[in-house]
A = this chain, B = another copy of it.
Amino acid sequence: METIADFEIQYSQFLDPDGNASPDIPELARNTDALVDMYRQMTETRVFDTKAVNLQRTGKLGTYASCLGHEATHVGLAAAMNKDDVLAPSYREYGAMFCRGVTMSEVLLYWGGDERGSDFEGPRTDFPFCVPIATQCLHAAGAAMAFQLRGEARCAVSVNGDGGTSEGAFYEAMNIAGARKLPVVFIVVNNKWAISVPIELQTASKTLAQKAVAAGIPGIQVDGNDVIAVRHWVERALARARKGDGATLIEAVTYRLSDHTTADDASRYRKKEEVEAARKLEPLIRLRKYLTDLGLWDDDREKALLEQAAEKVDQAVQRYLNTPKAPVESMFDYMYAELPDSLEEQREHAMQYGDADGSHHG
């Protein structure tokens, strides 16, 4: 018996839940504008999220997946990216999408049942929302391969959840990324739950970061409620990828403070106490404390930010609510670059019936 390979998985946190900074806190923590900006993004995201849930409750939005508690992970990872990198999100990374330039009304249109929500004005080459779990990991790997082949200094970033690490596509993507040293970063948002399935039932692997070992790429676990840790390690991983040294897996440990979606009732399968305990670790509190200690934040600034955010969200909601349905034929007009003749007849049939005639149920 001889040891032929060994691996260590590291954990990193710079800001503890009370906002105390660890001695090894990185450079970027001194970039006060960046910190304040991330705090603003996180706050706006939360205000948006709360509003979106209410819109659904009042019948003005379809099923919606809240991002409550994920703000540091989402904002931190996007803040680390270059504008011309591409993001391959799943479906709840609003904080990241907003940083990338996706508008709030686009996100509302998507959950409001309108494809135009994925026609991002801002990040034209970012991938759209991806609902089939973990399939986007392969898109990110493919995008990275395109950048590599063209010799561009761009990277792809994919985001999936703890449940997503059980899908074969997740491993296939890491494996090809490892084999080809692709400029891609895989971010696993471990929020402890996949709808009603707790992480303990999902896998026996002690950390999700160690799944990187299977692909021969580095993996690290960071506190996903510490925006500085998330941004720092994603920046490091991106720099490494841009240098041509290949892919990294980053597990961001956080917690899904909300129901899975507005169609879910988490009280069926998890304890209040667990949620309450997790709430104490949520990301905004600690960053606000830290900023306050640095004299960068106070109640007035907080109040102003909340008002400003509320107004921004309201404007987005208005834009969303004032967007008329797309024409019936739009379901045909983007299927192909050129509509095949054989579909013309169907298109006319659909137009003839215009809006739904309400003969349906449920």
In chain B, what residue has the closest Cβ to A181? B204
Contact with B along A172-212 (1 / 0, CB 8 A): 10011011010000000000000000000111111101110
Dominant SS at the A interface? mixed
Contact A1:B11 (CB < 8 A) given known A179-B201, A179-B203: yes
Q: Does A169 contact B (CB under 8 A)?
A: yes
A12 with B1: CB separation less than 8 A: yes
Residues B216 and A213 in contact, CB atoms below 8 Å apart: no
Q: A4-B11, A9-B3, A207-B5 are in contact. Are A213 and B215 (CB under 8 A)?
A: no
Give every chain B residue within 8 A of A204 (Cβ-Cβ).
175, 178-179, 181, 215-217, 246
Known: A4-B221, A11-B2. A214 touches B216 (CB 8 A): no
Identical copies in the complex: 2
CB-CB under 8 A for A24 and B6, given A166-B175, A216-B204: no
Q: Quick check: A203 and B175 within 8 Å, CB to CB?
A: yes
For A1-36 the 0/1 string (1 means CB < 8 A from B) is 111111111111000000000001000000000000
Q: How many residues of A contact B (CB 8 A)?
A: 43
* A295 at interface by CB-CB < 8 Å: no
Residue of B nearest to A213 (CB): B213
Nearest neighbor of A222 in chain B, beta-carbon distance: B1
With A166-B172, A203-B178 in contact, is A211–B210 under 8 Å at CB?
no
Chain B residues with CB under 8 A of A2: 10-11
Residues of chain B lying within 8 A (CB to CB) of residue A206: 4-5, 216
Give bound CA distance, A214 to B172, whole Å.
Answer: 12
* Chain B proximity of A337: nearest CB distance (Å): 31
A209 to B1 Cα, complex, angstroms: 14
Interchain Cβ contacts under 8 Å between A and B, 17 examples:
A1-B12, A1-B24, A2-B11, A3-B11, A4-B9, A5-B206, A166-B176, A167-B168, A168-B169, A171-B171, A179-B202, A203-B215, A203-B216, A204-B246, A205-B215, A213-B213, A214-B214
